[in-house]
Structures are given as structure tokens and as C-alpha cells.
Chain A
Amino acid sequence: GESVGLHLPTLSVQEGDNSIINCAYSNSASDYFIWYKQESGKGPQFIIDIRSNMDKRQGQRVTVLLNKTVKHLSLQIAATQPGDSAVYFCAEAQDAGNMLTFGGGTRLMVKP
């Protein structure tokens, strides 16, 4: 089962639908924002990042949107698959330091 058993907000989606996971951040001085995926029994895994001077970045099936006006970050997953079921964390960091500060996480559950 899940390594930690966190009581997290949960997003439940149907397989094949698109998923949107949201994150609010607090530090206006952050230089980049990163999304991590944590599957049960494993450590977090890097998905995609975006620098603070960008508002959108696309990867394979994933898109990250950054709205600095309202300090909001989102991760969009296209055509969600059962293998996408995991806990997703946003993190922020600055160029000057090398520390990632993680948000609270969202659990994504994909229904077949």
C-alpha cells in the first residue's frame, strides 16, 4: 500500500479522460516549479518542471501551467491511464539554493 497513508485531496477520473491537478504556492521568489509523481511504495519521481518566466510547458501527455498572478500551478495529464494513479506533488525551488520545497500532494485515482 501507500508508503505514508497521507490524508490527501483525491481526484478520481475515468480512464481516458484528462486530469487536472492543481497546486497553490506561496513563494513569489521561486525560480522554478516542479511536479513529482509518487507511486505506492516508491520515492517521488520527477515529471516536468517550468521556470518562473514561462507560463506553459508541455511534455509527453503532460502540460504544466503557471499563473504567477494568483500563484497557481497546474498539471494536466491527457488520456489518463491506470498507471497514472499515484500521489502528485508540486515543488518549488530557487536558483540560489538547491532545496526543493514540496506541497501537500494530491492523490489521483484512475477508474478503469
Chain B
Amino acid sequence: DAGVIQSPRHEVTEMGQEVTLRCKPISGHDYLFWYRQTMMRGLELLIYFNNNVPIDDSGMPEDRFSAKMPNASFSTLKIQPSEPRDSAVYFCASSPGPREAFFGQGTRLTVV
């Protein structure tokens, strides 16, 4: 398996634009997580899904952020409108159960 695949690897966008980050989890993993990593706040869990259903989105910063998982092999994290403070590395991870989450390479987002 190729592991968790995220795209794009890098995204530079202007403030106010919509940004969509994509994730393909490892086949067979029932859980999918979106994390954000910043210098100030470290690794933060934004939302996670179990069997394509959002379970906990309490980490989503505000209404500008939304995440979907239309099927077991694809998830998106959307920011609309984007702001400079959203600049961070966004990680997607999947796991077959508790504990051992497998992370993707991340998407480095820069909002100017």
C-alpha cells in the first residue's frame, strides 16, 4: 500500500480564496483524521471520521472550515474563505483502530 496520500503537497493562495485539501486513506482503515500543525499550537486534531461519518469536529476552528468523507477512500478539508492565520501544515491520518495512526506527508498551506 502507498500509505496515506495527500494532495497537494504545497498550496499558496491569496486571502479570501477557497482552499481544498485532499486525502486518500489506507484501504481498510475505518478511521480518518485531519490534523493541523503550527509553530504556536503544535499538532491539533481538527476532525475525525469513523466509517465515513464525522464523529468529533470540536477541533475545527470556525465555520470557515469544513470536512467531508463521501466514501471510504476519499476525504476533503475545505477552507472558505482562507485567511493568513490558516497557514500551517495540514496532515491527514488513517488507522484501523485506536493508537496507531498512519500519517500522510502533509500539505503545507500558505495564505498570503
Chain A residues at the B interface, C-beta cutoff of 8 Å:
3-7, 32, 34, 41-46, 49, 89, 93, 95, 97-105
B50 at the interface (CB under 8 A from A): yes
CB-CB nearest in chain B for A103? B42
Tell me the smallest distance from the CB of B37 to a CB of chain A, in Å.
5
Chain B residues at the A interface, C-beta cutoff of 8 Å:
4, 31, 33, 37-39, 42-43, 45, 48, 50, 55-56, 88-89, 91, 93, 95, 97-106, 108
Given contacts A4-B38, A4-B89, A98 and B106 within 8 Å (CB-CB):
no
Tell me the smallest distance from the CB of B68 to a CB of chain A, in Å.
19
CA distance A106 to B9 in the complex (A): 24
Contacts of A42 in B (CB 8 A): 103, 105-106
B37 touches A3 (CB 8 A): yes
A49 touches B100 (CB 8 A): yes
